[in-house]
């Protein structure tokens, strides 16, 4: 049975200090694709992002810990990516997602959370310059990389390309074109 866009479930964990351009772009474009996108704050209440923009998550992360998602996508930014990397619940979700063979995405500094979980070994990945240095994981520097169920993006400047790649990977090139066309890129 083929999934409809509404059947595709995406989790976007949101940490204080997240890069708002990446978070909002990913959330917006995935919702334009018709996916069910759940924005879950690491804590209860609004999240102040890296440039002071405040985002109100749909619910706290604690409420979705036992749910399954087709994609978990991590926005970058600092210190947001560090909070994602250091949160045991996020680490557990990432490992469970990978073990189930479901898609993972991370942009900018957020691939460091995937590295902490051991999910980047032997994979081609990209990230913000220097973000993966402490993990010893090499970054290709490409705008977007796709490797074995992990999609990574370089930084805020490629947030739209990253989100459109996620859409295409989940729902095909027609879904991507349906979202991208009206953006007048």
List Cα–Cα distances, 81 to 77, 126, 154, 158, in angstroms.
Answer: 6, 15, 13, 17
CA atoms within 13 A on the CB side of 146: 12
The 10 Å Cβ neighbour count of residue 179 is 23
Q: Which of 12, 30, 40, 108 is catalytic?
A: 108
Is 49 catalytic? The answer is no
| 49 and 80 Cβ atoms separated by less than 8 Å | yes
What's the DSSP call for residue 7? G
Task: Supply the DSSP string of 15-75, one letter for each residue.
Answer: -TT--HHHHHHHHHHHHHTT-EEEEEESSSS-EE-TTS-EE--SEEGGGGTT---SEEEE-
Query: Which residues does the annotation mark as catalytic?
Result: 108
């Amino acid at each position: 049975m083929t999934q409809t866009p509404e059947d595709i479930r995406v989790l976007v964990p949101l940490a204080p200090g997240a890069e708002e351009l990446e978070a909002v772009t990913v959330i917006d474009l995935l919702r334009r694709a018709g996916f069910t996108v759940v924005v879950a704050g690491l804590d209860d209440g609004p999240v102040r992002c890296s440039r002071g923009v405040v985002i109100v998550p749909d619910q706290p992360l604690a409420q979705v810990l036992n749910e399954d998602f087709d994609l978990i996508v991590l926005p970058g930014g600092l210190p947001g990516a560090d909070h994602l990397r250091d949160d045991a619940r996020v680490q557990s979700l990432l490992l469970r997602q990978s073990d189930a063979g479901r898609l993972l995405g991370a942009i900018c500094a957020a691939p460091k959370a995937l590295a902490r979980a051991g999910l980047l070994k032997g994979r081609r990945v990209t990230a913000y310059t220097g973000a993966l240095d402490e993990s010893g994981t090499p970054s290709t520097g490409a705008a977007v990389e796709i490797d074995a169920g992990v999609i990574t993006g370089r930084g805020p400047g490629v947030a739209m390309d990253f989100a459109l790649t996620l859409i295409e990977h989940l729902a095909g090139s027609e879904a991507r074109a349906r979202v991208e066309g009206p953006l007048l890129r």
